[in-house]
Amino acid sequence: MWIQFLLIAAIIVLGLVVMRRTGADSHLAIRRILMMLFILAAILSVLFPQWLTWVASLIGVGRGTDLLLYALVLMFLAFVYTQYRRNNALQRQLTLLARKIALVEAQQVDAAEDTAGREDADR
């Protein structure tokens, strides 16, 4: 019985941590709604484990634990894919930023050399 309370508390705390607002928050409302539904489903599956088995039998999966495993595998693959896309976007942004910095530094060096060349010519 106490394990249910511990699991529910952990689900709620982790759900709130994931859904908290940050300075660069770009969460859409749909993400928050889906997270709330996930938290509710997790709490219900802890309180009523037979519910998960019932849902699994409706879908055609043998046990509720198997259904949970399949869902977690799908969620993990979706997470890996989104992280891959985010990493590629960040790499592109970093490359563009490095190019811009290199161009600005090259222009500053050219301007400094031109200024030094004019000073030498004036002497």
CB-count burial class (<10 Å; 0-12, 13-18, 19+) for 52: buried
Tens-place pLDDT, residues 76-111: 898 899 899 999 999 999 999 999 999 999 999 888
C-alpha Rg value of the chain to the nearest Å: 27
pLDDT of the chain along its 123 residues, tens only? 788 888 888 888 888 877 776 655 555 677 778 788 888 888 888 888 898 899 889 999 889 888 888 988 988 898 899 899 999 999 999 999 999 999 999 999 888 887 776 766 666
Tell me, what's the pLDDT at 119?
67
Q: Is the pTM of this model over 0.75?
A: no
